[in-house]
C-alpha cells in the first residue's frame, strides 16, 4: 500500500471543495487498513475515513492527519429460502450495489436508487429516501475496531440506527466498516407510500423493480444538482425532530406545512426544506458561490471554485434565520472535516 502526501481532497468529494490531506491512503483490504492505521498511530496523527465523499464538506485548509479512503470491494450472494443475504464491501458504490441487486430481482433497497457515495457511507449515515431506509434490510456488518484492533461482526441491533445516525456517528472513530450484510427479499414488496411515488404509480400498483428504480432516478433528477456541473452533498441539514406539542404549535402557525411522523420515536419530523422555502422564502438564495438549490431548498449547491467557508457562511445564516423566525435549532447532516 502506498501512502501519498499533500493530496488535494476536493476531487474526492461531490462538493468539489476543500484543501489537501497531509497523508492519504486508499485501502483495498483489511490488512492494508491495519497497515495505514498503524502508520497514523506511529505518527500520532488523527485519522479521517472517507468513502465516496458525498456527504462531507472539507475545510479549505484540508486535513492535517491521514485520510483513509476505504476501497474494499466485492458483492457475494447467498440464497436462504425466501431471501438472499448479500455481503458487500464498504468501498462498493451504493448505487452500483442497488442496481446489481435489482438485476437479480431482490427487493428492499430500490427506493434508495441514485444516492451517491459508497456502501460504507450509507451504513454510517443510515441513508434514507422515498420511504425506505438502509437499516430496514440491513442484517449486520464486519467492522475494524480501532480500539481493540480486531475485526468484529456487529448485529443490526448493536448498530443503534436512528435518523441519519448510527453507532458509527455516535461513537465516531471507534469502528471502520469493512463489509455490510443485507437480507433482501425474493418477494415483490413495493413501498410506494412516499407522495411522489404514490402519484407516479396511482394507476400501476405493482410495478416491477426496474420501473421503481427508474421512477426514483427520475424524481431525484428533478431535486438534486447535476454533479457534473456543480458541487453538492445533497441535503445539507437534517430535518428537525420536535415533540408532538411543538409540532402542534408549528402547525398552528404554518397550517400548510406537511409533517411526518417518526414511528421509531415520539417525535415529529419537520420538513426544513419547506420552512426555508415557504417561511423564509430563501430558495435560490446565494452567498459567495454557495446557494440554496432552486428545486430543493434543503440542498446546498456550490459553483466551481466556491470555498468551504462560503458554504459554511450560507449554512450559518440559514441556521440563524430559522432559529429567529421559527425558534428551531437545526443541525448539519453533512459532516464537516477540518
Ligand atoms: N419542500 C418544499 N420546498 C423545498 C423543499 C421541500 O416545499 O424547497 C417540501 C416538499 O414539497 C415536501 C417536504 O418539504 O412536502 C419534504 O421535502 P422532500 O420530500 O423533498 O424531502 P426532504 O425532507 O427535504 C428527505 C431527505 C433526503 C431524501 C428525501 C426524499 C433528509 C435530511 N433528507 O428530504 O435525503 O432524498 O427526503 O425521501 O432527511 C440526504 O439525506 O442527503 C437526502 C437527500
Residue nearest to atom 38 of ligand 1 (CA): 129
Task: Look at the chain and report how many structural domains it folds into.
Answer: 3
Domain of 217 in residue numbering reads as 75-221
Residue 235 annotated among the catalytic residues of the structure: yes
Look at residue 264 in the predicted model and tell me its pLDDT: 66
pLDDT tens-place string over residues 75-122: 999 999 999 999 999 999 999 999 999 999 999 999 999 999 999 999
Same domain, 236 and 264: yes
Same domain, 274 and 168: no
Q: ∠10-38-335 over CA atoms, to 5°?
A: 35
Question: Which CATH number fits the domain that encloses residue 65?
Answer: 3.30.43.10
Same domain, 282 and 146: no
Give yes or no for residue 127 having a pLDDT over 90: yes
Same domain, 215 and 242: no
pLDDT tens-place string over residues 141-188: 999 999 999 999 999 999 999 999 999 999 999 999 999 999 999 999
Q: Is residue 29 part of a domain?
A: yes
Whole-number Å distance, alpha carbon 83 to ligand 1 midpoint, is 31
CA-wise closest residue to 58 among 13, 120, 6: 13
Whole-number Å distance, alpha carbon 238 to ligand 1 midpoint, is 10
Question: 235-264 burial, b if ≥16 CB within 10 A, otherwise e?
Answer: bbbbbbbbeeebbeebeeebeebebeeeee
Residue 333 annotated among the catalytic residues of the structure: yes
Question: Which CATH number fits the domain that encloses residue 107?
Answer: 3.30.465.10
> Where a domain ends, among 17, 39, 70?
70
CA atoms within a 13 Å half-sphere pointing along the CA-CB vector of 14? 24
Residue nearest to atom 10 of ligand 1 (CA): 274
Give yes or no for residue 138 having a pLDDT over 90: yes
Q: ∠144-85-104 over CA atoms, to 5°?
A: 125
Same domain, 182 and 126: yes
pLDDT tens-place string over residues 26-61: 999 999 999 999 999 999 999 999 999 999 999 999
Reported as a pLDDT band with limits 50, 70 and 90, residue 74 is very high
Could you give the CA distance from residue 311 to residue 66 in angstroms, rounded to a whole number? 24
This prediction has a pTM of: 0.97
Amino acid at each position: 500500500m502506498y501512502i501519498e502526501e499533500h493530496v488535494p481532497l476536493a476531487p474526492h468529494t461531490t462538493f468539489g471543495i476543500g484543501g489537501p490531506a497531509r497523508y492519504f491512503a486508499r485501502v483495498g483490504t483489511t490488512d492494508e487498513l491495519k497497515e495505514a492505521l498503524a502508520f497514523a498511530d506511529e505518527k500520532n496523527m488523527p485519522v479521517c475515513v472517507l468513502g465516496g465523499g458525498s456527504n462531507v464538506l472539507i475545510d479549505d485548509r484540508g486535513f492535517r492527519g491521514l485520510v483513509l479512503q476505504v476501497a474494499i470491494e466485492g458483492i457475494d450472494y447467498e440464497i436462504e429460502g425466501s431471501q438472499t443475504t448479500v455481503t458487500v464491501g464498504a468501498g462498493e458504490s451504493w448505487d452500483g450495489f442497488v442496481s446489481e441487486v435489482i438485476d437479480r430481482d431482490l427487493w428492499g433497497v430500490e427506493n434508495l436508487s441514485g444516492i451517491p457515495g459508497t456502501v460504507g457511507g450509507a451504513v454510517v449515515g443510515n441513508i434514507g429516501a422515498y420511504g425506505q431506509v438502509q437499516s430496514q434490510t440491513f442484517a449486520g456488518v464486519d467492522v475494524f475496531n480501532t480500539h481493540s484492533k480486531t475485526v468484529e461482526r456487529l448485529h443490526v441491533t448493536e448498530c443503534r440506527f436512528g435518523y441519519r445516525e448510527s453507532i458509527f456517528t455516535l461513537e465516531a472513530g471507534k469502528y471502520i466498516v469493512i463489509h455490510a450484510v443485507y437480507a433482501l427479499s425474493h418477494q415483490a414488496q413495493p413501498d410506494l407510500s412516499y407522495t411522489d411515488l404514490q402519484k407516479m404509480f396511482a394507476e400501476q400498483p405493482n410495478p416491477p423493480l426496474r420501473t421503481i428504480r427508474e421512477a426514483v432516478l427520475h424524481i431525484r433528477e428533478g431535486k438534486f444538482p447535476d454533479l457534473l456541473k456543480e458541487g453538492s452533498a445533497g441535503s445539507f441539514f437534517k430535518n428537525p425532530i420536535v415533540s408532538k406539542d411543538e409540532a402542534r404549535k408549528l402547525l398552528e402557525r404554518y397550517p400548510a406545512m406537511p409533517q411526518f411522523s417518526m414511528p421509531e420515536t415520539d417525535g415529529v419530523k419537520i420538513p426544513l426544506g419547506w420552512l426555508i422555502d415557504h417561511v423564509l422564502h430563501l430558495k435560490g438564495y446565494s452567498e459567495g458561490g454557495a446557494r440554496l438549490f432552486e428545486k430543493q431548498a434543503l440542498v446546498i449547491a456550490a459553483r466551481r471554485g466556491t470555498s468551504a467557508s462560503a458554504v459554511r457562511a450560507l449554512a450559518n445564516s440559514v441556521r440563524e434565520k430559522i432559529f429567529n423566525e421559527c425558534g428551531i435549532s437545526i443541525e448539519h447532516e453533512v459532516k464537516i472535516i477540518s
